[in-house]
Amino acid sequence: MRVGILAIQGDVREHERMFHRLGIATKLVRSKEHLQDLSGLVIPGGESTTIGMLMQEYGMTEEVLKYARTGQFPVWGTCAGLILMATEVVGPSPTRLALMDITADRNAWGRQVSSFEAEVPIAALGPPDFPAVFIRAPRIRRMGDTVVPLAKCQDDVVMAESGPFLVTSFHPELTEDVRVHRYFIEKIEEARANR
Ligand code: GLN
């Protein structure tokens, strides 16, 4: 197994560190050729406008979709990554992978100063609650029928999945808790078993 981490901008190294702690090999994805021979892809937090524009410029949008559409290539977007994976976005968004039928409202949790941390119960991970870090996070305003909510914070869904795709509006890579990363690895194992 090798997990790709889209390495255009954002908290790339932090994700890498988490997978390495779990003994999982990673590859930093900087061009569309780097997407070959991967088991799945993480789109990290950062600035969705920047990441999206450069994905287009490097021809990566179509290439990611080519793999994702096989149904056997899990993709996990954190924060900015969630925005890029949404079918609909409130506010400017030059690029959309549209892998998850949600409406993402950019920066709707407030500005940088109002970034916060909350203890969020996630049934799929079991106890204890997860230390969720929100940094200018998007809010999920709408979810389609194919989307399964996995966690809520103040009545808002902050983690959801749809088939092989996963989104979190918070940043598990900025904590010491590896459980969401492990959950994504389990999704990859599932996708491989279905091959
Ligand atoms: N506010 C950023 C955006 O709209 C996302 C912030 C983040 O990824 N921490 O792209």
Asked whether the predicted pLDDT for residue 194 surpasses 90, the reply is: no
Residues in contact with ligand 1 by the CB-under-6-Å rule are: 45-48, 79-80, 83, 106-107, 135-136
Ligand 1 atom closest to 50 (CA): 10
Task: Grade residue 195 by pLDDT with cuts at 50, 70 and 90.
Answer: confident
Domain boundaries, the chain: 2-193
Q: Which of 55, 79, 89, 103 to mutate to test the pocket of ligand 1 (most atoms within 8 A of CB)?
A: 79
117 is catalytic: no
Q: What is the CATH number of domain 2-193?
A: 3.40.50.880
171 is catalytic: yes
Could you give the maximum distance between any two Cα atoms of the chain, in Å?
Answer: 45
Asked whether the predicted pLDDT for residue 22 surpasses 70, the reply is: yes
User: Using an 8 Å Cβ cutoff, are 172 and 124 in contact?
Assistant: no
pTM of the prediction? 0.96
pLDDT the model gives residue 66: 97
How is residue 76 written in tokens? Answer: 């996990």
Asked whether the predicted pLDDT for residue 94 surpasses 80, the reply is: no
Instruction: Report helix, strand or coil for 121.
Output: coil
Q: Which residue bears the tokens 């609909």?
A: 88
Backbone torsions φ then ψ of 42, nearest 5 degrees: -110, 130
User: Exposed (0-12), middle (13-18) or buried (19+): which is 143, by Cβ within 10 Å?
Assistant: middle
Residue at 29: amino acid letter: V
The runs of H, that is alpha helices, within the chain are 12-21, 48-57, 60-68, 80-85, 179-193
Rg of the chain, C-alpha, whole Å? 15
User: Using an 8 Å Cβ cutoff, are 162 and 100 in contact?
Assistant: yes
Gap from CA of 80 to ligand 1 centroid (Å): 4
Ligand 1 atom closest to 51 (CA): 10
Q: What is the mean pLDDT of residues 45-57?
A: 96
Q: What is the mean pLDDT of residues 56-75?
A: 96
Residue closest via CA to ligand 1's atom 5 equals 80
Task: Grade residue 67 by pLDDT with cuts at 50, 70 and 90.
Answer: very high
Catalytic residue among 34, 79, 161, 181: 79
